[in-house]
Amino acid sequence: MADETAAASKAYLTPFNMVAGIIVLLGVIITVLRFTGGLAAVTNLSDYNPWGIWIGFDLLVGVALAAGGYVTSAAVYLFGMKKYHSAVRPAVLTGFLGYALVVLALHYDVGRPWRLPYPFIVQQGSTSLLFEVAACVALYLTVLFLEFSPAALEWLGLKRARRLAVRLTMALTIFGVILSTLHQSSLGALFLIAPSKLHPLWYSSYLPIYFFITSIIAGLSMVIFESTLSHHYFAAKMDANHLREKDGIALGFGKAASFILAGYFAIKVIGLAADDNWHWLGTGYGFWYLVELVGFVLLPCFAYAVGVRDKNLKLIKWSAVWTVLGVALNRLNVSLVAFNWHLPSGERYFPHWMEIGISLFIVTIGVLAYKFIVTRMPILYEHPDFQGEH
């Protein structure tokens, strides 16, 4: 008995669990400070800088990286690419957790989080762009929950409820694509109201289009990235079908990402020309803009193309990581680096270490939730009672 207890303790006291435990404990402490002392106790936010890393990273980056759900569902159920079916449930789970954590992060950033439902039930702010974003995110989170529910219902053995949930798949996919198109682009449109605050190289009337296209790119790349990590850490949970299709998913999604990155690069150059911002490229901000455009758009596009041509899966997987970092860099540039660019350095925003701690806390919760779900529910394999019924 003592040996079994020691073995169980050893199994839980892994380096990952210990680091995750420290981050969670620190996050809980900062959470208490945030909701007892207010935003000023844990952030460097101000009237000049009301949006910080919780919006730039937790929301803008989080929503983009959670786009794999609608991208994969659309590919499989709307465009009939059944060969990628094994990627649907992991992508939907990642999307569901991503959006749930975005909503959680909003509770930290909003001064009075208990008032978040007010625009829906007290007064309708239908003329506000933020209202449209909030409504779409709330509705899409509900859609993702319903799309994820068949796996949970199979795990619980609720066959009748599971059959009903599966029948809704096509309708939910269509609704999810519509909602994602709206709010992914609207997040970019939010910055159109601040032409004097956002640097001209990043400010463009094409911002809604840029945000929507990069969400597709992020979704495709995140599916490859998530698939790579799942195969490495949860291969024992995968069935033969998932193991057989994983290389095809990487090749297919890598090819799509390469084409869309090329189109995105072309549109960015067109936007640069339309706004006649060439002269800004000779400045310090111009150099950073070229780092983003060439280093994290054009080069990963080329790397993806070479990887697909040579069937080099390792290159494709690294290109996925590269692209995910590029999308994150773009969102942070728009919301933080190039925002309030004209202010003196002393008045510019830099996140408090507690803000970073909360962001790490939220990401850690997502990783732990993903690990908990995939080790228990039929995400990476088909439930034996429902073979071929998806």
Q: Give the model confidence (pLDDT) of 116-167 as tens digits.
A: 887 777 766 666 778 888 888 899 999 999 999 999 999 998 999 999 999 9
Which pTM value belongs to this model? Answer: 0.92
Q: What is the pLDDT of residue 215?
A: 97
Q: Rounded to whole angstroms, how far apart are CA atoms 103 and 142?
A: 12
Confidence label for 8 from pLDDT (cuts 50, 70 and 90) = very low
Residue 6 forms part of a structural domain: no
**By the 8 A CB rule, do 355 and 44 touch?**
yes
Q: Does pLDDT of 383 surpass 70? A: yes
Residue 343 forms part of a structural domain: yes
Residue 7 forms part of a structural domain: no
Residue 377 forms part of a structural domain: yes
Confidence label for 348 from pLDDT (cuts 50, 70 and 90) = confident
Mean pLDDT of 334-349: 88
367 or 344: whose pLDDT is higher? 367
Mean pLDDT of 248-269: 96
Q: What is the pLDDT of residues 28-76, one digit of tens each?
A: 999 999 999 999 999 999 888 888 999 999 999 999 999 999 999 999 9
Q: What is the pLDDT of residue 384?
A: 81
Looking at the chain, the whole-number percentage of residues with pLDDT higher than 90 is 75
5 or 133: whose pLDDT is higher? 133
Confidence label for 342 from pLDDT (cuts 50, 70 and 90) = confident
Residue 4 forms part of a structural domain: no
Residue 136 token pair: 């779409």
What is the overall mean pLDDT for the chain? 91
Q: Does pLDDT of 23 surpass 80? A: yes
Provide the number of structural domains found in the chain: 1
Phi and psi (nearest 5°) for 198?
-95, 135
Confidence label for 243 from pLDDT (cuts 50, 70 and 90) = confident
Identify the weakest region by mean pLDDT among 149-163, 210-224, 302-316.
149-163
Residue 307, domain extent: 20-381
Residue 13 forms part of a structural domain: no
Q: What is the pLDDT of residues 160-197, one digit of tens each?
A: 999 999 999 999 999 999 999 999 999 999 999 889 89
Q: What is the pLDDT of residue 10?
A: 59
Residue 295 forms part of a structural domain: yes
Q: What is the pLDDT of residue 245?
A: 86
Q: Does pLDDT of 390 surpass 60? A: no
Residue 121 forms part of a structural domain: yes
Q: Rounded to whole angstroms, how far apart are CA atoms 268 and 357?
A: 34
Confidence label for 307 from pLDDT (cuts 50, 70 and 90) = very high
Residue 63 token pair: 């929503």
CATH number (domain holding residue 194): 1.20.1630.10
Q: What is the pLDDT of residue 281?
A: 96
Residue 204 token pair: 């463009």
